[in-house]
């Protein structure tokens, strides 16, 4: 009979039952393709080669620009970090932006940037204040001006933030409260999770470019190695939230990164331009005592090695042992920053944070693991590398930053008198 959906006859494609079955099959098919690799290697998928070439081409340009910034020095690297932060903020601000609501809130988008640049002034003021003082010490007028600005730096930043807070309250509109408060919370989340973490890059730069370059390079190496190992050997899915990641890629990248850390530390540690800390904001060439961490130690191989073995020993920098810790963190812990970003994008149903880098997505897509690594590198350096006791340089820095020129002269005369009395005694 017409309309009788018996067992032997297929259902009408327009019927509710057929549409329901079709939706169920579609819903079930998508996760199966995304969660597993189907036991096939990506290398067998010819469509992936074009994507790989585009990705490689973009990577070459990024590495070239990065190398140029390293050559130009500390200030250029800092400027590069600031530009990256601005692009990341732009991508993330746009993620939750709704054009319809923004039309009814003229100027509201500028509030996000007000908070962003206020945070930038506060964080970089704290990081670079002492180095700015050291730069202008020879000019008495400029020194006094900079000292006054640093003294009231926190007050200025606080009132800038309060001005933004009042600006937000005064722009609240009826029926737009939920959207506006959501944007307010989203802005502060960006400042805390993205800007504050990435600012540790600058702190690492002035401790010596080595402590910025090595951690950043290890993340790049880990990312490239994971892609290559996964491309040619990846079969076993690693984590559901990021279905393209495989155990083969993860393990292969970890081994590659740790070995690279040990080798790169030996190469980078031999250049004073990379190892010397920068105490001011000048751009001149650096020359310093690299310290015991960067002085090679010779290790002799045991005598039981055969006579035909070409090497009798090996020269190792002590900092290479520390680099193993950085490599271990970059290969095992830092990738979770990428997993966090993957889950974040899935929550908002977007493939990438942006499209500014062909084959890679946005700037934020490349910096997710870097931010996690920047904090660890800074904490590790401060905890295990920087001497915990007071040094002459540290005391002088505190004197220059906290005492006026007249007070420094008085301190000098008193210290001179104390030393003379001790010598006479």
Domain assignment present for 2 = no
| Interatomic CA distance for residues 179 and 104, integer angstroms | 11
- Cα 362 versus chain centre, distance: 14
**CB hemisphere CA count around 249 (13 angstroms):** 26
Domain assignment present for 158 = yes
Please name the residue that has the structure tokens 């009788």. Answer: 4
Q: Are residues 108 and 199 in the same domain?
A: yes
Q: Residue 161: what pLDDT?
A: 97
Q: Are residues 189 and 223 in the same domain?
A: no
Give the count of domains, the chain. 3
| Interatomic CA distance for residues 126 and 36, integer angstroms | 47
Q: Residue 23: what pLDDT?
A: 43
Domain assignment present for 138 = yes
Q: Are residues 247 and 102 in the same domain?
A: no
Domain assignment present for 35 = no
Q: Are residues 384 and 407 in the same domain?
A: no
Domain assignment present for 139 = yes
Q: What residue spans of 136-194 are helical by DSSP H? A: 140-151, 153-170, 177-189
Domain assignment present for 317 = yes
Domain assignment present for 161 = yes
| Interatomic CA distance for residues 226 and 73, integer angstroms | 30
Q: Residue 7: what pLDDT?
A: 43
In this structure, how many other beta carbons lie within 10 angstroms of the beta carbon of residue 351?
9
Q: Are residues 351 and 402 in the same domain?
A: no
Q: Which domain holds residue 115?
A: 74-207
User: Last residue of some domain: 177, 207, 237?
Assistant: 207
Q: Are residues 310 and 231 in the same domain?
A: yes
Q: Are residues 175 and 245 in the same domain?
A: no
Q: Are residues 236 and 358 in the same domain?
A: yes
Going by C-alpha positions, the residue among 118, 143, 115, 114 that lies closest to residue 129 is 143
Going by C-alpha positions, the residue among 172, 168, 102, 130 that lies closest to residue 396 is 130
Q: Are residues 311 and 378 in the same domain?
A: yes
* 10-residue mean pLDDT series, the chain (425 residues): 45 49 43 45 61 80 88 92 92 82 81 94 91 84 86 95 95 90 92 84 93 95 92 88 89 97 96 91 85 91 83 91 97 93 86 79 86 94 81 77 82 90 83
Q: Residue 258: what pLDDT?
A: 97
User: Last residue of some domain: 142, 174, 207?
Assistant: 207
Q: Residue 8: what pLDDT?
A: 46
Domain assignment present for 325 = yes
Q: Residue 43: what pLDDT?
A: 54
Total count of residues recorded for the chain? 425
Q: Residue 45: what pLDDT?
A: 59
Q: Are residues 97 and 170 in the same domain?
A: yes
CB 303 within 8 A of CB 295: no
Q: Are residues 213 and 198 in the same domain?
A: no
CB 195 within 8 A of CB 116: yes
Phi-psi region of 52 (alpha: psi -120 to 50; beta: other; left: phi over 0): alpha
Q: Are residues 217 and 134 in the same domain?
A: no
User: Last residue of some domain: 207, 236, 260?
Assistant: 207
């Amino acid at each position: 009979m017409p309309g009788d959906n018996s067992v032997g006859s297929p259902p009408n494609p327009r019927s509710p039952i057929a549409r329901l079955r079709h939706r169920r099959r579609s819903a079930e098919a998508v996760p199966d393709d995304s969660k597993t690799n189907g036991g096939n290697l990506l290398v067998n998928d010819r469509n992936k080669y074009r994507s790989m070439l585009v990705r490689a081409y973009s990577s070459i340009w990024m590495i070239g620009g990065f190398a140029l910034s390293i050559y130009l020095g500390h200030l250029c690297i800092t400027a590069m970090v600031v530009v990256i932060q601005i692009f990341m903020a732009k991508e993330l601000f746009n993620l939750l932006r709704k054009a319809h609501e923004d039309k009814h809130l003229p100027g509201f988008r500028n509030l996000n940037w007000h908070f962003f640049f206020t945070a930038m002034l506060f964080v970089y003021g704290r990081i670079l204040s002492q180095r700015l003082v050291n730069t202008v010490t020879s000019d008495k007028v400029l020194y006094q001006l900079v000292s006054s600005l640093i003294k009231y730096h926190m007050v200025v930043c606080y009132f800038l933030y309060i001005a933004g807070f009042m600006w937000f309250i005064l722009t609240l509109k009826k029926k737009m409260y939920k959207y506006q408060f959501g944007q307010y919370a989203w802005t502060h989340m960006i400042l805390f999770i993205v800007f504050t973490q990435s600012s540790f890059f600058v702190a690492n730069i002035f401790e010596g470019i080595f402590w910025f370059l090595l951690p950043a390079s290890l993340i790049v190496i880990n990312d490239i190695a994971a892609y290559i190992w996964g491309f040619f050997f990846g079969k076993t899915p690693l984590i559901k939230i990021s279905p393209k990641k495989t155990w083969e890629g993860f393990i292969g990248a970890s081994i590659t990164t740790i070995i690279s850390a040990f080798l790169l530390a030996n190469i980078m540690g031999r250049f004073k331009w990379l190892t010397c800390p920068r105490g001011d904001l000048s751009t001149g060439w650096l020359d310093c005592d690299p310290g015991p961490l960067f002085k090679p130690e010779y290790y002799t191989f045991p005598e039981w090695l055969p006579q035909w073995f070409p090497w009798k020993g090996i020269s190792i920098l002590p900092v290479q042992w520390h680099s193993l810790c950085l490599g271990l963190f970059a290969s095992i812990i830092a990738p979770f920053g990428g997993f966090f970003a993957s889950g974040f994008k899935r929550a908002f149903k977007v493939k990438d944070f942006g499209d500014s880098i062909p084959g890679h997505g946005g700037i934020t897509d490349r910096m997710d693991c870097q931010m996690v690594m920047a904090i660890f590198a800074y904490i590790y350096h401060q905890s295990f590398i920087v001497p915990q006791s007071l040094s002459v340089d540290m005391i002088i820095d505190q004197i220059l930053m906290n005492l006026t020129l007249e007070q420094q002269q008085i301190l000098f005369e008193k210290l001179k008198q104390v030393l003379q009395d001790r010598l006479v005694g």
